[in-house]
Chains A and B, each alone.
Chain A
Amino acid sequence: MIRTSFLIVAASALAISAPAAAAAPTDPQIAHIAYTAGALDVAAGKQALKMSHNAAVREFAQEMVRDHTAVNDKALALVKKLHVTPEANPTSAALTKAADAERAKLSKLHGAAFDREYVNSEVAFHKTVNGALASTLIPSAKNGELKSLLETGLTLFKEHQAHAEQLAAKLK
């Protein structure tokens, strides 16, 4: 079961990286991808807060909701200031599709099985997003403020990935 979710997320990672080879994503596309990734992780965190009774998992989920909401609020303020309209794109769609599948899968799990699957999917999700930020999104961003926000996001998400990995090791 866990392997399946990794494969799904790995597939979305490919989807993120693919446009770089052909044409670098534009700032409106980058903004949409980053915002979508944050919103999806907020939704996953809220699902975990409904389903999990594990204190460490709940604390992690609260951290995800709090931090990703903060970044997305900042991102919304930035695109408004820059008069940029985030542009839907295949990468955002792939991320959303993978997250929808994961959410459906998690909805059928309970207790320790839910906790393990949620945390493992968080590890995979952050690896994917961090890889995309470092290799494609940050290098492609043209606007300095957007690039700076993405860089702060990458620093933050690396912390999230490390936290999720530590938690996953404890839940094994």
Chain B
Amino acid sequence: MSLSPRRFTLAVAAACVLLPVALPAPAAAATYVVVIDQMKFGKVPPLKAGDTVTFVNKDMFRHTVTATNNSFNLDLMPNTKGSLHINSAGHATFYCKYHPGMRGTIVAR
């Protein structure tokens, strides 16, 4: 699996959506939101190549979304969000490097 991390604040994220220079996603691609709260990652839905998954940190703590194999890393302060673009099918596990008991899995077909 290949993923491209994007990190931005809520305000910047809103601006990015409106930028005309943003490359259009493939027709079938989708964006999913995964909330981080109460020291837990929300469940990541099944994905496919081309999709984007946005992690929103609604917790009061700083968290990361860090690949177990270090292939991606999002460092998210409270009330910020960051996205991963799924470039290819595959499977990845991730954790929060500040709170390693927080774990999740991404599966893309």
A63 B101 Cβ-Cβ under 8 A: no
Check A66 for interface membership: any CB of B closer than 8 A: yes
A159 B60 Cβ-Cβ under 8 A: no
Residue ID in chain B nearest A149 by CB atoms: B60
Cβ proximity bits B96-109 to A, threshold 8 Å, 1 near / 0 not:
00111110000000
Check B92 for interface membership: any CB of A closer than 8 A: no
Check B38 for interface membership: any CB of A closer than 8 A: yes
The answer to whether residues A162 and B61 also contact, given A152-B38, A152-B39, A156-B39 and a CB cut-off of 8 A, is no
A71 B101 Cβ-Cβ under 8 A: no
B39 A74 Cβ-Cβ under 8 A: no
Check A54 for interface membership: any CB of B closer than 8 A: no
A159 B62 Cβ-Cβ under 8 A: no
- Size bracket, chain A contacts: 10 to 19
Check B78 for interface membership: any CB of A closer than 8 A: yes
Q: Give Cα A71–Cα B61 distance, bound, in whole angstroms.
A: 8
Point out the residues of chain B lying under 8 angstroms from A135, CB to CB: none
Q: Chain B binding site: helix, strand, loop or mixed by DSSP?
A: loop
Point out the residues of chain A lying under 8 angstroms from B78, CB to CB: 70
Check A155 for interface membership: any CB of B closer than 8 A: yes
Cβ proximity bits B7-20 to A, threshold 8 Å, 1 near / 0 not:
00000000000000
Q: Give Cα A132–Cα B14 distance, bound, in whole angstroms.
A: 43
A162 B39 Cβ-Cβ under 8 A: no
The answer to whether residues A71 and B60 also contact, given A152-B38, A155-B39 and a CB cut-off of 8 A, is yes
CB distance from B72 to the nearest CB of A (A): 20
Point out the residues of chain A lying under 8 angstroms from B60, CB to CB: 70-71, 73-74, 152
Cβ proximity bits A146-166 to B, threshold 8 Å, 1 near / 0 not:
000000100110110011000
Chain B residues packing against A (C-beta within 8 Å) = 38-39, 60-62, 78, 98-102
Contacts A70-B61, A156-B61, A162-B100 known; list 4 others, CB within 8 Å: A63-B98, A66-B61, A159-B100, A162-B101
Chain A residues packing against B (C-beta within 8 Å) = 63, 66-67, 70-71, 73-74, 152, 155-156, 158-159, 162-163
